[in-house]
């Protein structure tokens, strides 16, 4: 027994060690940025992990410039609108794919897979030309549209996996209980698919929020520039000033919504929500 306990403890220790290594590997750059954002301009390059002098100056600075606030507004607005549209369309498409047999179903799935695999970089130039001639360049819809296009395959895949998990008999039962197909979907299927919808929403939102390529290529002014693009335009108050502190502060600020988003929706992703529906 003692030997057993010993090996068990050793195994636990090994796992703990691996966990720590992974955590450190993932978190050190993040913490470094957080640390930079709290440093004063003078101590910025002192190579200390923990700031010797703490300051909120960087945060005050980014929020006092119109540039960052406007970019933040653009980011939130564009990402939210794109997420809502992509999730609504994705829900309908995924439901049809999971539940119905219609001609061209495989083709639809194939095409959406194709879009997901298409290198975005090769689309930047054509999109730029198209949006300019359509008057969409440097507007919110100009970013929302490509985001929806690339988020939809993701949404359809995640959601159709969730829909397949829901027992079809529940829908039949609802129909027998007197529900129209729309009522059956709204009152029985949708509530059960909610965890899937939230998961998908998070993924799509993060995708839109983090995008840099389209954001930098399809915008030219603050009217639609999102935070990742705006960050690259940050500069100090003079050309001799290093903007690292403010960029770090801005990076921390745009990470916060993502963390909140995940924490908030995580509670809704209750495992085993469908337990008890069918036999068990």
Partner 1 sequence: MAEIVLDKVSKRYPDGALAVSDVDITIADGEFIILVGPSGCGKSTTLNMIAGLEDITGGELRIDGQRVNERAPKDRDIAMVFQSYALYPHMSVRENMAFPLRLAHVDKETVNRKVEEAARILDLGQHLDRKPGNLSGGQRQRVAMGRAIVRDPKAFLMDEPLSNLDAKLRVQMRTSVAKLQRRLGTTTVYVTHDQTEAMTLGDRVVVMRGGVVQQIGSPQSLYEQPVNLFVAGFIGSPSMNFLPATLADGQLRTPLGPVPLTDRIRRLVESSSAPREVIVGLRPEHFEDASLLDEAERSAGGTFTAAVEVMESMGSDKFAYFLVEGETATSAELDELAAESGSAEMTDNGAQIVTRLSAASPIKEGDEAEVWFDPDKLHLFDPKDGRTLTHTG
Note the residues at the interface with partner 1 (CB under 8 A). Answer: 167, 169-170, 172-180, 183, 187-188, 191-192, 272-280
- CA nearest neighbour of 70 among 140, 1, 3: 140
CB of 184 to partner 1, least distance (A): 9
Closest CB to partner 1 among 2 and 270?
270
d(CA 274, CA 168): 12
Residue 280: C-alpha distances to residues 141, 169, 172 (Å): 47, 14, 18
Closest CB to partner 1 among 90 and 195?
195
Residue 20: C-alpha distances to residues 14, 26, 29, 118, 263 (Å): 10, 10, 15, 36, 22
d(CA 159, CA 270): 16
- Are 86 and 80 spatial neighbours (Cβ–Cβ below 8 Å)? no
CB of 182 to partner 1, least distance (A): 12
CB of 31 to partner 1, least distance (A): 40
CB of 93 to partner 1, least distance (A): 23
Query: What DSSP line would sit under 79-137, residue for residue?
Result: HHHHHHHHHHHHHHHHHHHHH---TTHHHHHHHHHHHHHS-THHHHHHHHHHHHHHT-T
Residue 167: C-alpha distances to residues 188, 247, 274, 279 (Å): 11, 49, 9, 11
CB of 273 to partner 1, least distance (A): 7
Query: What DSSP line would sit under 171-236, residue for residue?
Result: HHHHHHTT--HHHHIIIIIHHHHHHHHHHHHHHHHHHHHH--HHHHHS--STTT--HHHHHTT---
Closest CB to partner 1 among 104 and 272?
272
Q: What is the DSSP letter of 241?
A: S
Closest CB to partner 1 among 4 and 271?
271
Closest CB to partner 1 among 125 and 183?
183
Closest CB to partner 1 among 78 and 174?
174
d(CA 111, CA 143): 22
CB of 111 to partner 1, least distance (A): 25
Closest CB to partner 1 among 138 and 171?
171
CB of 40 to partner 1, least distance (A): 53
């Amino acid at each position: 027994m003692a030997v057993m306990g010993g090996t068990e403890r050793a195994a636990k220790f090994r796992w703990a060690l691996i966990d720590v290594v992974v955590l450190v590997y993932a978190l050190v750059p993040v913490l470094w940025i957080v640390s930079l954002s709290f440093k004063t301009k003078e101590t910025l390059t002192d190579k200390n992990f923990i700031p010797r002098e703490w300051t909120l100056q960087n945060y005050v600075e980014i929020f006092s410039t119109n540039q960052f606030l406007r970019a933040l507004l653009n980011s939130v607005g564009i990402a939210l609108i794109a997420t809502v549209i992509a999730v609504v369309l994705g829900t309908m498409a995924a439901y049809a794919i999971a539940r119905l047999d219609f001609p061209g179903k495989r083709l639809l799935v194939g095409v959406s897979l194709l879009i997901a695999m298409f290198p975005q970089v090769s689309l930047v130039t054509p999109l730029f030309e198209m949006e300019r001639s359509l008057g969409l360049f440097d507007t919110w819809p100009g970013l929302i549209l490509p985001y929806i296009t690339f988020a939809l395959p993701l949404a359809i895949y995640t959601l159709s996996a969730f829909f397949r998990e829901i027992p079809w008999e529940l829908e039949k039962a609802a129909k027998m209980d007197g529900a129209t197909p729309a009522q059956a979907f709204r009152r029985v299927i949708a509530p059960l698919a909610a965890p899937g919808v939230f998961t998908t929403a998070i993924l799509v939102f993060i995708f839109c929020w983090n995008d840099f390529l389209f954001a930098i290529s399809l915008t030219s002014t603050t009217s639609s520039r999102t935070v990742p693009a705006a960050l690259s335009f940050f500069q100090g108050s003079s050309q001799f000033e290093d903007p690292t502190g403010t960029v770090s502060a801005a990076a921390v600020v745009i990470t916060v919504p993502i963390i909140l988003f995940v924490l908030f929706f995580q509670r809704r992703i209750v495992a085993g929500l469908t337990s008890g529906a069918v036999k068990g």
